[in-house]
Amino acid sequence: MKECLVVGKVGTGKTLFVLNFASYLGFSQVNITIEYPDGRIKTKHYSIDTARQQLVGVDLHTTKSLQSIVIDIPAVKGVRRCLITDSSGLIDHIHQDINIRQAIAQTLSAIRQADLIIHIVDSSQVGIHDAPSALGEVDYQVAQFAQMRGGYVILANKMDIPGAERGLSKLSLELPGHKIIPISALHKQGFKEVKAFVRHHL
């Protein structure tokens, strides 16, 4: 099965995107397969509502493992089944907590194996240089790596927040030549375009 990996800096909305995208595709219940950095794997059943409450966080580094859901994207004939995988948020510095460092290392190694990379950026923070989720070195590194291998899209998230439009313009200037789709993971906006992109690239 093809795998679509969701990456990005901490707190940019990766987990909320994955859950709300599954909900947009018609799922109200999901099985989430959790792969820990130490290799343990387990599957948990959630309603999307409960998953949202438990897995989306206001603190940074909420997600510390790879968390995959099987989704069906409507295609010309029937559906195209794929895995969408949420990952631990990236940061520009080296974290003091070894568990977080291992979680980040796990994300980075998953990037090499994914068929499609969905890179989430918080548009409301682009240009705010001290913010942990503002565009920084690691975003450039991911974009550069992904550009070489193809199958890559940037989702400019949190477009519902005032100031996000300005962030989006800045983002297009800073990462030219990439496909950027503005979205609000919270309000499920821009999802039609994301669905079309995923369908086309898987």
What is the contact surface with ligand GTP in residues (CB under 6 A)?
8, 10-16, 56-58, 60-63, 89, 157-158, 160-161, 184-186
Nearer to ligand GTP, 8 or 37 (CB): 8
Q: Does 141 bind Mg ion (CB under 5 A)?
A: no
CA distance 182 to 11: 17
Nearest residue to ligand GTP on Cβ basis: 89
Give 83's contacts (C-beta < 8 A, 6+ positions apart). Answer: 1, 2, 3, 4, 68, 69, 70, 71
Q: Does 62 bind Mg ion (CB under 5 A)?
A: yes
Nearer to Mg ion, 86 or 136 (CB): 86
CB of 104 to ligand GTP, least distance (A): 10
CA distance 178 to 61: 27
CA distance 119 to 141: 11
CB of 143 to Mg ion, least distance (A): 20
Report CA-CA distances (Å) from 108 to 111, 112, 113, 120, 199.
5, 7, 10, 15, 24
For residues 82 and 94, the answer to whether their CB atoms sit within 8 Å is no
Is 154 in a helix, a strand, or coil? strand
CB of 86 to Mg ion, least distance (A): 6
Q: Which of 12, 15, 106, 123 binds Mg ion (CB under 5 A)?
A: 15
Is 173 in a helix, a strand, or coil? helix
Contacts to Mg ion from residues 120-139, by CB under 5 A:
none
Taking CB under 5 A as the binding criterion, the range among 60-68, 90-98, 118-126, 127-135 that sits at the site for Mg ion is 60-68
CB of 85 to Mg ion, least distance (A): 11
Nearer to ligand GTP, 62 or 172 (CB): 62
CB of 162 to Mg ion, least distance (A): 23
